[in-house]
Amino acid sequence: MTQEKKMTLTTKVIMGMGLGIAVGLIINLLGLNAGNFIGDNIVNGLFASIGMMFVTALKMLVVPLVFFSLISGVMGIGDIGSLGKVGAKSFALYLLTTAIAITVAITLAVLSGIGEGVNLPTVTAFTVKEAPSLSSVLINIIPSNIINAMAEGKMLQIIFFSILTGISILMVGKKAEPMAELIEIANEVMMKMVNIVMAAAPYAVFALLAKAIANLGLDLLADLAGYVVVLIIALMLHLFVTLMGILKIFSGMSPFIFLKKMRETQVFAFSTSSSNATIPVTLRAVTERLGVSNSVASFTVPFGATINMDGTAIMQGVATVFIANAYGVELGMTGYLTVVLMSVLASIGTAGVPGVGLIMLSMVFTQVGLPVEGIGLILGVDRLLDMIRTAVNVSGDAAVSVIVAKSESKMDERIYNDPEAGILTDENLGIDEAAEQELAEVVQETHDKS
């Protein structure tokens, strides 16, 4: 019993991940994933319900957490000029990593020759929403109705309003102290709520992966083996070489410590396939495990979840070369440079748009003269690969957060280098009875006075 209490949440989540993949594979290989009791009631019933309840709980926390955390962060910076520097550095680093990602992906795909001599199957019917113009995206950053923006989870609009609120509180000054204190308390309450939801993580990760692997299986990977292998290699190179190299060069911090402390967040991202849903977990890891000040992390994490397209850019590069070779289309150096430029620009112009990856890919295909319906060829494996892309994306968000915080002297290196900092165990997730009793007495005292 004592040993179980000391087991960290990260260990439990990784165990849940491994067990979920194993159970999913067994169900898939035995053909029990559909049309029977296990498929209908366990896989698509129990597992699906547990997984969706967890993802929904994480999404529930995103808006209030970003709102209170970002206002708190702006107040913590206390200088509008510094806030501008944080934003500019974050934006430049996200674009830099995206440009490197797409370049590496195209280079690998071209050298490997994937797609050459492929016998094209019947293309899956594919339609994609029209991408919004850059001007409309910029205009839509400003919310006409912040309640509606929060209800629909429009992250850029929430970020804009939160920053404006924080700046306004700073400008009001001493009169706004009660409001500032209330926001700080609300931010702390939201972080505690994240811890509560994370207590269910090992079971949810098991359910999510067991369902995904049981339904998708690995058979479909064989038909597109070249595409899948090159894409995974490109993603791993970007994570372990590009991002960790940039982290070391610009911040001087240890990549090994970074990767060790980000494992839990990466597993979350892998299982949910959503950078936005993982925001609460990423924000907690960046502040409590990596030592980044909330004044920086509260901006860089939600901003990165919205515009950081490293994983998607890599997918675009590999997919473009694969489809071009499959259809016998010669892109040439000009075509590849166009793909790089389009991917970087599209990461800004389609920020926060649902189905952004496929929208960006269709824009690239159209620009270089490839048939858009070719996207249908890779749709079958995209769900599994999206899980890896999301893990890479949240790692990029965290790496940029560390770099920006270090450059602004907004980082506690002692926390970063402390292997025990921010670790969650069953003891951490329990209720502090003393604090509970103290609060109950305060509430009762207030009630008696009224």
Domain range annotation of the chain = 2-422
Tell me what the mean pLDDT of segment 226-247 comes to.
Answer: 93
Q: What is the dihedral of CA 441, 444, 446, 450, to 10 degrees?
A: -160
Residue 306's H or E segment, with its range, is helix 294-307
Q: From 374, 388, 408, 397, select the one nearest 98 (Cα to Cα).
A: 397
**228 pLDDT higher than 90:** no
Q: What is the dihedral of CA 219, 221, 226, 232, to 10 degrees?
A: -150
In terms of pLDDT, which residue wins out, 216 or 330? 330
**Per-residue DSSP letter, 118:** -
Q: Tell me the pTM.
A: 0.80
Q: 1: pLDDT confidence band, cut at 50, 70 and 90?
A: very low
**52 pLDDT higher than 80:** yes
Q: 355: pLDDT confidence band, cut at 50, 70 and 90?
A: low
pLDDT at 2: 44
Q: From 109, 114, 112, 70, select the one nearest 90 (Cα to Cα).
A: 70
CA distance 218 to 28: 9
Per-residue pLDDT reduced to its tens digit, 278-337 = 888 899 999 999 999 988 998 899 888 888 888 888 888 898 888 888 877 888 888 888
Tell me what the mean pLDDT of segment 191-214 comes to.
Answer: 85
**273 pLDDT higher than 90:** no
CA distance 92 to 183: 30
User: Which range among 48-62, 76-90, 102-116, 144-158 shows the weakest confidence by mean pLDDT?
Assistant: 76-90
Q: 244: pLDDT confidence band, cut at 50, 70 and 90?
A: very high
Pick the most confident of 84-98, 128-142, 246-260, 294-308.
246-260
**130 pLDDT higher than 50:** yes
Q: 348: pLDDT confidence band, cut at 50, 70 and 90?
A: low
Buried-exposed string 179-195: b where 16+ CB fall within 10 A, e elsewhere: ebeebbebbeebbebbe
Q: Supply the CATH classification number for the domain 2-422.
A: 1.10.3860.10
3-state DSSP call for residue 112? Answer: helix
